[in-house]
Amino acid sequence: YGENGKKPEGKIVEILGHVTDPGVDILSIVKGYDLPTEFPEKVLNQAERVAKAVTTADMAGRKDVRSWQTVTIDGEDAKDLDDAITLTKEGDCYILGVHIADVTNYVQENSALDREALKRGTSVYLADRVIPMLPRVLSNGMCSLNAGEDRLALSCIMTIDAKGNVVDHQIAETVVNVDERMSYTSVKKILEDRDEAECERYHDLIPMFELMKELSHILRERRHRRGAIDFDFPEAKIILNESGEPVDIKAYDRNVATKIIEDFMLVANETVAEDYFWQEIPFLYRVHEKPDDDKMKKLVTFLQNFGYTMHMQGGQEIRPKEVQKLLDKIEGTPEEAMISRLALRSMKQARYSPDNDGHFGLATQYYTHFTSPIRRYPDLQIHRIIKDNLRGRMNDAKRHHYEKILPEVAMETSSLERRADEAERETLKLKKVQYMRNFFGQEFEGVISGITKWGIYVELPNTVEGLVHVTNMTDDHYDYDEEHYQMIGSHHRKTYKLGQKVRVKMIDCDEISRTIDFRLVKERKEEREDG
């Protein structure tokens, strides 16, 4: 580390490539977050050995649902298909089957595969690559619910009434065979655009898709009534060319199909969590604690500047319903995205826990992660618990074993999830900077998304955010008014507030620090007034 006048020293252990080589930019982020990229040979060999086709022996004792009309609905480029859906209606009730890949059949506890999966905690989705939690022969192959293939699953089959209440359910080990691998775009074309070619192609599945839309609406309404918070601001999807260079930035489209899958996964996760809570079996929950009172008071003060109010229970505690009401009020306003983000930042981060402390954001007492065992370790862990229970193996020794390991698993996987999120965020920031390099000197309309003493942040419609540094605000000396979240010019008293529309010019960007610099452009009207 360097001492007594000696400088710190280090040794080059690996060269990633030239700074201009395709993919090296993201590889440097991967290395910076210490994300494991290669699987040890022992793990790969074990994956090859266990990834055998489903046999009659594998199916023994399982519920056979291969004859049920079954689809997967995912993004076009998804290759690890965790979940498949079946849906029928009997009288006033919907019979919804959420069938999840039975990964534990291939990944035994404490095996080399299992230890590597726990070390990774989650698959990481970066702009140009996926770093999977499990080797591809499993994640894209034997575990993935690929159409036309017999697959082992763990299913939550729910009977849901017309009000969206789960009146009965069964959790079972099953065998599924998916009829069609659908994409969100395709289902949207059928349900919203009524696209002729698409409707013709999937003619036999349309009645089920119509039912899905119906049930999804009922479940969403029910969640809304109890006060669940639905943050609906645009996330960015970066379009890259073959060399990994960004050619476009689009907002992720949350359409009818993405909402269907979201609603069905949420209800399955809640159903499983409630079932295991009341069985008093050691379990892993997804918890989201109540927000910090001080942060909420700050948010309430901030909202008053915009003419919005949010009621705090007894002047202290906030209810999810209040946040939801606020989001309803700001819908469609220019400040919607910004207030949503601020509200989200005022909350705590969700995490995994062996204690069922409820989920504030979803306004539910019971929640877990059951639906993605190919890409999240906690889901894999609870599948093991469920299967031990279903097979009558949940004796005192097993209970003790799970009580012992779950606190550590919860802590470890929560921390690895943070690491993956940060790496994904940094990659997005990097690709946005690279994209904006093409627009030097160009002007844009944007919205003030943040104000600090060193300047104002402006967000463009494509989700790119840049800083107008105070040193570049040359028409006056500006001071930051922290209480009212605004910048005030000390001579002309000109103010800049959050949510305000401004015109900016792109003046600089830096890939290393992943920052973009803007300068405010004077409006023509102002220039005339200035003479």
Tell me the Ramachandran region of residue 23: left when phi exceeds 0, alpha when psi lies from -120 to 50, beta otherwise. left
- Which of 400, 434, 468 finishes a domain? 434
The answer as to whether 502 is a domain residue is yes
Domain, as residue range, for 485: 440-529
Cα 474 from chain centre: 40
Of 184, 483, 465, nearest to 337 (Cα)?
A: 465
Strand order in the sheet with 478-481: 478-481, 486-489, 495-497
Beta bridge partners of 124: 131
The answer to whether the beta carbons of residues 135 and 114 sit under 8 Å apart is no
The answer as to whether 213 is a domain residue is no
One domain for residues 274 and 334 = no
The answer as to whether 41 is a domain residue is yes
One domain for residues 512 and 416 = no
One domain for residues 451 and 363 = no
> In the prediction, which pLDDT does 361 show?
93
**Which amino acid is located at 79 in the chain?**
K
> In the prediction, which pLDDT does 524 show?
53
How far, in Å, CA of 231 to CA of 49, rounded? 43
What are the structure tokens assigned to 172, written together? 């079972």
Low-confidence residues of the chain: pLDDT under 50: 527-528, 531
CA-based R_g, the chain, Å: 26
One domain for residues 42 and 164 = yes
One domain for residues 47 and 161 = yes
> In the prediction, which pLDDT does 316 show?
66
> In the prediction, which pLDDT does 314 show?
64
Q: In this structure, what CATH number is given to the domain that contains residue 490? A: 2.40.50.140
One domain for residues 130 and 166 = yes
The answer as to whether 222 is a domain residue is no
How far, in Å, CA of 103 to CA of 109, rounded? 11
One domain for residues 311 and 385 = no
> In the prediction, which pLDDT does 531 show?
45
One domain for residues 301 and 391 = no
How far, in Å, CA of 297 to CA of 312, rounded? 8
One domain for residues 428 and 358 = yes
The answer to whether the beta carbons of residues 189 and 173 sit under 8 Å apart is no
- Which of 399, 419, 434 finishes a domain? 434
The answer as to whether 49 is a domain residue is yes
One domain for residues 82 and 178 = yes
- Total residues belonging to the chain: 531
The answer as to whether 1 is a domain residue is no
> In the prediction, which pLDDT does 390 show?
97
**Which amino acid is located at 99 in the chain?**
H
Of 348, 349, 366, nearest to 357 (Cα)?
A: 366
The answer as to whether 20 is a domain residue is no
Report pLDDT digits (tens) over 456-489. 999 998 889 999 999 999 889 999 988 777 899 9
The answer as to whether 159 is a domain residue is yes
Q: How many domains does the chain have?
A: 3
What are the structure tokens assigned to 111, written together? 């095996």
Dihedral angle over CA of 106, 110, 113, 119, nearest 10: 130
> In the prediction, which pLDDT does 19 show?
82
In sign, the C-alpha dihedral spanning 277, 280, 286, 287 is positive
User: From start to end of 234-330, where are the E strands?
Assistant: 236-240, 246-251, 285-287
- Which of 434, 456, 471 finishes a domain? 434
Of 421, 462, 87, nearest to 246 (Cα)?
A: 462
One domain for residues 323 and 398 = no
As a 3-state breakdown, the chain gives helix, strand, coil percent values, each rounded to 5, of: 40, 25, 40
One domain for residues 365 and 499 = no
What are the structure tokens assigned to 231, written together? 């943050």
